[in-house]
Chain A
Amino acid sequence: MDRGMLTLYVEPADVLETCRQLKSHPDLDFNYLICLSSIDRKEHLEVAYNLRSLNLKHEFCLRTKLSRNDPRVPSVTSLWKAANWHEREAFDLMGIVFEGHPDLRRILLPEDWEGYPLRKDYEYFPADVPDHQGPPDHLLLQLEGSQ
Chain B
Amino acid sequence: MAIPAPDKSGPALPRGLRTQELTVNMGPQHPSTHGVLRVILTLDGEWVVEAQPDVGYLHRGFEKLGELRTFINGVPATDRWDYLSSMSNNLIYSQAVEELLELEVPERAQYIRVIVCELNRIASHLVFVGTFGLDVGATSPFLYCFRDREKILDLFEEICGVRLTYSYIYPGGVSADTPPSWLGKVDAFCDYLPPMIAEIDELLTGNEIFILRTRNIAIITAEQAINWALSGPMLRASGVKWDLRKERPYQVYDKFQFDIPVGKAGDCLDRYLVRVAEIHQSVKIIKQCLTGIPDGPTKAKLPKTLKPRAGELYTCLESPRGELGLYMVSDGSDTPWRMKIRGPSFINLAIVSEIMPGWKIADAVAILGSTDIVMGEVDR
> A residues within 8 Å of B by Cβ?
2-5, 31-35, 37-40, 48, 50, 54, 57, 61, 80-82, 84-86, 89, 93, 106-110, 117-118, 124
Contacts and interface: CB of A to CB of B under 8 A. Distances in A.
Given A2-B311, A108-B55, A34 B342 contact: yes
6 contacts: A4-B313, A34-B316, A34-B342, A39-B340, A80-B227, A82-B347
A31 B226 contact: yes
Contact of B312 (A2, A34, A40, A86): A2
A93 B63 CA distance: 10
A32 B229 contact: yes
Interface string B53-93: 00110010101100000000000000000000000000000
Interface in B264-293: none
A36 to B, nearest CB: 9
Interface stretch (B43-51, B147-155, B323-331): B323-331
A80 B323 CA distance: 17
A67 B23 CA distance: 40
Contacts of B354: 81
Interface in B346-366: 346-347, 349-350, 354
Given A3-B100, A39-B338, A80-B229, 16 more contacts: A2-B311, A2-B312, A5-B312, A35-B314, A35-B327, A39-B340, A40-B338, A50-B325, A54-B226, A54-B240, A84-B350, A85-B350, A106-B56, A107-B56, A118-B63, A124-B64
Interface string B354-380: 100000000000000000000000011
A107 B55 contact: yes
Given A3-B99, A40-B338, A109-B56, A85 B63 contact: no
B291 to A, nearest CB: 30
A118 B99 CA distance: 24
B228 interface: yes
A48 B329 CA distance: 11
A5 B313 CA distance: 7
A110 B59 CA distance: 10
B295 interface: no
A48 to B, nearest CB: 7
Contacts of A37: 327, 338, 340
A48 B326 CA distance: 13
Contacts of A82: 227-229, 347, 350
Contacts of A80: 227, 229
Interface string B299-324: 00000000000011110100000010
B208 interface: no
Contacts of B99: 3
B247 A57 contact: yes
B67 to A, nearest CB: 9
Contacts of A5: 312-314
Nearest to B240: A54
Given A81-B227, A82-B350, A34 B59 contact: no
Contacts of B342: 34-35
A66 B122 CA distance: 44
A40 B327 CA distance: 13
Contacts of A50: 314, 325, 327
B242 interface: yes
Given A3-B99, A39-B338, A81-B228, A48 B327 contact: yes
A108 B340 contact: no
Contact of B379 (A33, A38, A57, A108): A108
A35 B93 CA distance: 16
A8 B247 CA distance: 24
Contacts of B61: 117
Contacts of A35: 314, 325, 327, 340, 342
Contacts of B323: 34
Given A35-B314, A118-B64, A110 B56 contact: yes
B54 to A, nearest CB: 8
Contacts of B100: 3
Contacts of B346: 85, 89
Interface string B85-114: 000000000000001100000000000000
